[in-house]
A and B are shown apart, each in its own frame.
Chain A
Amino acid sequence: MLRKILKQHTGPLTRDLVQEPGLFGLGKVPSRLKPASTTTSVCGYCATGCQLKIHLDAFGNAINLSPQSGYPVNLGMACPKGWQALDPLDAADRATTPLLRDATGTFQPVSWDTALDTFVTRLKSIKESHGHESVAFLSTGQIPFEEMAFLGCLFKFGMGFLHCDANTRQCMATAVTAYKQSFGFDAPPSTYADFEESDVIVLVGSNLCIAHPILWQRIMRNKRSPEIIVIDPRATETAQAATRHLAIRPKGDLPLLYALANCIIRDRRTDGESIANTTGFAEFSEFVKPHTPESVADAAGLTPEVIEELAAIVSQSGKRVSWWWTMGVNQSHEGVRTAQAIINLCLITGNIGKPGTGPSSITGQCNAMGSRLFSNTTSLVGGHDFADPSHREKVADALGISPDLIPAEPSFAYDEIFDAVEAGKIKALWIVATNPFHSWINRSRLDTLREKLDFLVVQDMYHSTESARAADLILPAAGWGEKDGCLINSERRIGTIKSVRKAPGQALSDFRIIRLIADRWGCGEMFSAWTHPEAVFKILRDLTAGRPCDITGIENYDQLDREGGIQWPCPASMKTIEPERRLFENGKFFTPDGMAHIHFSAPSPLPEPTDPEYPFILLTGRGTSSQWHTLSRTGKSKLLAQLAPATPYFEIHRDDAMALGIESNASVSIRSRRGEIHATAFIAPTVQRGHVFLPMHYPEVNLLTHPSFDPHSRQPNYKACAVALSVPST
């Protein structure tokens, strides 16, 4: 008794943490968060595509989550963004009602009826006075492809506009173009099991450890003691964990890759059988001849010996070599050729279509791959080509519309849309689930462009994003967790997301918003079958028949859940659906001649080289695994936010810092020809002399970046521009 009075081993505070078996294969869970049932949903951040098990209360409301153990992607693991995926839904700055800017410039809540009327009236009148090219949308890789398809089809076929693009332009347009030119279709060939089956893993411009921690997990599961090579100007977390790090010069990757091809061809370490499935090898051999290790050493920032050594490692006969790249390659002024230089190395060494091989882009966004097939922006919906009359005919037929409604001409790319706004050609913009006023390269230009727009609509979960704050009309959107649909991950795996939370206020899923707009525009009839996401899934599925991305063998969402996601292709003829499949095992490609095409061109200089006035190269990239893009979601999770610096910081080499008198944690001015920002100095062991690194998540960063683009993919070159540093005098 006395002991009990003296020591309180139990009580209300202790009970808060008591656990009990959670059932559903969960093990112990906190008693107060014990689920009544569970469901699954693919994570809505990056393109790794982890499946999460959502813990539901008796009303079907999500109360917690944990990673799904049996899923072939993540095997029961998730990064902190996935773990905290429910947090951003509860943010105080959710848009809960349509907001319309009044005459005084302040937002006023309005009904959906008024919002839709305003939307339709304004856009119709702009179309009437300025034509069908005067309105554009900028969408996203962050919503289910049923929504993307609805948006793209309504906009082009129903509303009759032409120009649209998505933020996928900022993330994987380069990979798309590279694959299309090389393989005849936008087809990343690998499956994640290849990480576990490689002998040599080469990561180019990829900080896998923090950008895609679950893919690094797959590498760590590799039992073949692989050589892990990181090619990156920065000694990233991944470089620190790799077996070999090649700290190249920024944009030294293309010359390096050509030199590798040179060595491999010179030493006859090529694979004839694989080369037989390609065209352009002879010209390529000729082209790379001058690209000797000695001649590229300076541009690559590596010694000829290191280059020779790398060439030998990636062409060892009998060894499985897989190449993976991310934004270091994609976000470049010559990213397409760099990606193709990687593809070419795989083709000439026979590292394609076999376990543990392949040139694969690791995509950024959860549904970038869905956007590539179904967004109806750059490619005609369902993996088709706008320019091909037979494709237009087929799609029109399947959708029950006139082929004349399908434009043959291409849409402007993202940067071209902004140019058209500047030229006064585009008068209205509709931004869906993306934040270009933060993320677009040299973003201060957008403030000027805003003045030129007659009407800006932003459809988003939050009324607080940089872009929403610039809008005339805000349409409140439901987010991941509040809607159904499908996402496609980097290895072409289609998985479902589920509605497990009620959207706040009058927020509606993008699907429902688009459906309302279709109805109000007068296209209700055309889209009468597009009633809910799964109905649209089936329409889209049927559209893919006969294309490389044929998924006619997928019955419905339930089957996707049952199978642990299904990779495309999955034609109706497929008897058994293996959980992990790679492309090109038969050596046949999707080009008309069935061959892989070898593309190359001479490396070009940096768009903005350093000079005495701007002597540093600015690198940008992911800061931490708890930060995502413009922080519009991860910044709303208290836990995620406190795991990363709240204010911008930059990494600088110790010697540079000393030379400039910059102390650790000092506030430093960083200037480019486009703007000036202040950031805290992190004297880091990661960057080389002459470089500074800024994480991309802070709104200041794109005040500095240089607007140059890959000529083939129109992807912005975020990763290298010239800046100057100075310590503000106090």
Chain B
Amino acid sequence: MKTATIRRIPAPPLPVTLIDQLLAEQVTLGTPAARFAEIHDRVPDLADHYRQLIPLTKPGLGEQYAFEVALDRCTGCKACVSACHSLNGLDEGETWRDTGVLLGGTNAPGWQQTITSACHHCQDPGCMNGCPVGAYEKDNHTGIVRHLDDQCIGCSYCILKCPYDVPKYSKKRGIVRKCDMCHQRLAEGEAPACVQACPTEAIRIVKISRDQKPETRTEAGGFFSSIINNQQSAIPDYTVTQPTTRYVAREIPATAFAADRDRLVPQPTHWPLVMMLTLTQAGIGMIVTSTYAGRSAVTLLIGTLIFLCGMAASVLHLGQPLKAWRFFLGLRTSWLSREILAFSLFAPIPLVLCTLSRLPDFPFKNLCYLITAHSALPLGFIAIFTSVMIYHDTHRSLWRFPLTSARFFGTACCFVALAYAIIHPGFEATECFAVVAIVKLIPEIHILLLQRRYDVSTWFPDVHSARLQFGPLRLLTVTRFVLACLSIVTLAINPWAALPIFLASETLERMIFFKSVQAPKMPGTFGVSPTHV
């Protein structure tokens, strides 16, 4: 730009109205640096306040950090929740601490206790054991269970594995995040955000011995051990992961239960998992049948397509699928790693079979076919078994081994029968399919009937699931059963037509499987649903 050599004649000033003047003032912020700043580095202002609330020294050998909550000082003000959000710079609505309420007592007015919880930094962390890619680490020195955000593939299995609903999935980021006990602060002798912010000093950090059991660690009453005496408490079973948080200073009556226990809110559907499980099991059933019952190329092809669709769906469940190649890191502890391995081994089988049947003859072709075909059953079985174990290993009641294996292997068996009926239509095949399909319904009906058997004053995880199936999931449940019956009738007329109907019915069954499970969590607040970012 050229320097102006001629002095510009200023434009005549526009008439500035008071409105313009005030609008301009309104968007002019003060010069804070000049007016209010107090810039200097110094010991944090709250250091004196929290010095008593964190240990003076780092954990020694065989020790770890743990949260300790004095229940007689917690009033549910939720400052800890907000401070966690603000001081950690979390996303909108994201927080790693939550509060809840326990109700109980037999007097009128009764007993009530607010409770605050974050990650329990368990001795045997479910999240870490379940993670297929090793995105969790329990720090050797501090015992803090840390999540490696850049390692995470966003599979959400840790969410299913944590009995306290601690890891939260972030759609925006495609990963989960969770409390890290403000390890960066602790390393510098600063208190975690929640400890700093509790107005009544109810939360502190203590050092505990790594091998102590929680029931011996909770001096008074024992929040975690109250489940032992009280089936109805809806307090998670501490023996699963050995949480380290200590709740002290107030007895928990035997009648205590979580205030949000009776709220009938279905769990997330996990669409990709619904499709993956249903389609892979259906596909495996059809593929296996096709290899034994007369080498049917059509059912093999259809079965393979269904199976591959299921495999494709599973990828949709990952927030960071490109990082999933590290799945082998979890093989030692994670059933999800094992499932990925098992399905990777099974997947070539139907492809090879389909290809072989279209290739011209070559030496040992038949042998190749036979070996491949005979490995379909054992490998298919193993693959489905790993699927079952994934859910069984979450320790969720509805997902326990007998029920889940009945569902998953049941689906496969039904499709074996269905494929058989397609290949060899007839009364015998129909009868066979009808028997398998109806037998598969029995455990589902058994759960449903609990709703009739127990009145509302009784609560346990299965009856909660039954109430969900009768309540908010009623339409799903009814449709699932109607479609199952319809498919049996249809099969008698035309087996091909029964295939989509039964597939739909099984998909609904799997939706119910996910939506009606009782997911253990820390006690929440009445009327408040657990949040997911």
Contact = CB atoms under 8 A, between A and B. Distances in A.
A68 to B, nearest CB: 8
Contacts of B531: 642
B22 A503 contact: no
A217 B150 contact: no
A645 B259 CA distance: 12
B13 interface: no
Interface stretch (A27-35, A303-311, A385-393, A425-433): A27-35
A247 B31 CA distance: 53
A26 B45 contact: yes
Given A209-B75, A240-B112, A515 B19 contact: no
A502 B112 CA distance: 44
A210 B75 contact: yes
B173 interface: yes
Given A237-B76, A237-B112, A682-B526, A639 B18 contact: no
A498 B36 contact: yes
A225 interface: no
A665 B456 CA distance: 11
A253 interface: no
B112 A60 contact: no
Contacts of B108: 653-655, 685, 688-689
A685 B105 contact: yes
A70 interface: yes
B262 A37 contact: no
Contacts of B18: 515-516, 519
A28 B184 contact: yes
B30 interface: yes
Interface string A211-240: 001101100100000000000001101111
A346 interface: no
Contacts of A682: 259, 526-527
Interface stretch (B83-91, B341-349, B444-452): B83-91
Contacts, number: 281
A77 interface: yes
B8 interface: no
Interface string A670-700: 0000000000101011111100000000000
Interface string A13-41: 11011110101111111101100111110
B29 A649 contact: no
A80 interface: yes
Given A13-B150, A639-B93, A500 B79 contact: no
Given A478-B26, A499-B29, A18 B112 contact: no
A644 B150 contact: no
Contacts of A27: 44-47, 185, 190, 196
B38 A625 contact: no
Nearest to B85: A639
A223 B151 CA distance: 49
A684 B109 CA distance: 9
B442 interface: no
Contacts of B40: 23-24
A645 B260 CA distance: 11
Interface stretch (A1-9, A146-154, A184-192, A573-581): A1-9
Interface residues of B, number: 90
**Which of B45, B103, B182, B456 is packed against the most chain A CB atoms within 10 Å?**
B45
A60 B32 contact: yes
- B interface secondary structure, majority: loop
Interface stretch (B197-205, B307-315, B410-418): B197-205
Contact of B82 (A28, A83, A478): A83
B76 A112 contact: no
Contacts of A7: 134, 148, 151
B103 A685 contact: yes
B90 to A, nearest CB: 8
B41 A32 contact: no
Contact of A79 (B78, B88, B149): B78
A78 to B, nearest CB: 6
Contacts of A452: none
Nearest to B134: A7
B260 to A, nearest CB: 9
A508 interface: yes
Given A23-B40, A23-B41, A645 B79 contact: no
A665 B263 contact: yes
B39 interface: yes
Nearest to B89: A30
B115 interface: no
A113 interface: yes
B75 A213 contact: yes
A594 to B, nearest CB: 39
A247 B456 CA distance: 28
A78 B79 contact: yes
A625 B29 contact: no
**Which of B37, B46, B99, B527 is packed against the most chain A CB atoms within 10 Å?**
B527
Given A6-B326, A14-B150, A30-B89, A645 B528 contact: yes
Contacts of A79: 77-79, 82, 199
A65 B89 CA distance: 11
A58 B85 CA distance: 23
B113 interface: yes
Interface string B135-147: 0000000000000
A512 B45 CA distance: 36
B531 to A, nearest CB: 5
B29 A61 contact: yes
B42 interface: yes
A69 B456 contact: no
Contact of B32 (A6, A39, A516): A39
Given A69-B45, A84-B82, A237-B114, A512 B525 contact: no
A11 interface: yes
Contacts of B93: 638-639, 642
A21 B43 CA distance: 10
A626 interface: yes
Contact of B110 (A235, A515, A680): A235
Contact of A686 (B26, B83, B112, B152): B112
B92 A638 contact: yes
B200 A28 contact: no
Interface string B39-68: 111111111010000000000000000000
A75 interface: yes
Given A28-B184, A75-B49, A220-B201, A502 B26 contact: yes
Nearest to B456: A663
Contact of A507 (B26, B110, B180): B26
A613 B282 CA distance: 60
Given A7-B134, A27-B46, A685-B111, A625 B78 contact: yes
Contact of B89 (A17, A80, A238, A626): A17
A104 interface: no
Interface string B505-533: 00000000000000000000111100100
A529 interface: no
A279 interface: no
B49 A76 contact: yes
A403 B177 CA distance: 66
Interface of A: 6-14, 16-19, 21, 23-30, 32-33, 36-40, 56, 59-61, 64-67, 69-70, 74-80, 83-84, 112-113, 116, 209-210, 213-214, 216-217, 220, 234-235, 237-241, 245, 247, 478, 482, 498-503, 506-509, 512, 515-516, 519, 561, 624-626, 638-640, 642-647, 649, 653-655, 663-665, 680, 682, 684-689
7 contacts: A11-B150, A60-B32, A210-B76, A210-B77, A235-B110, A663-B456, A685-B104
Q: Name the 7 nearest CB pairs between A and B, nearest first.
A: A685-B110, A645-B527, A30-B89, A11-B150, A27-B44, A83-B82, A235-B109
Given A209-B76, A482-B26, A512-B22, 20 more contacts: A6-B329, A8-B148, A11-B150, A24-B39, A25-B44, A38-B38, A60-B33, A64-B86, A76-B49, A80-B77, A83-B85, A213-B79, A241-B75, A502-B29, A503-B26, A512-B26, A624-B76, A625-B77, A645-B525, A665-B262
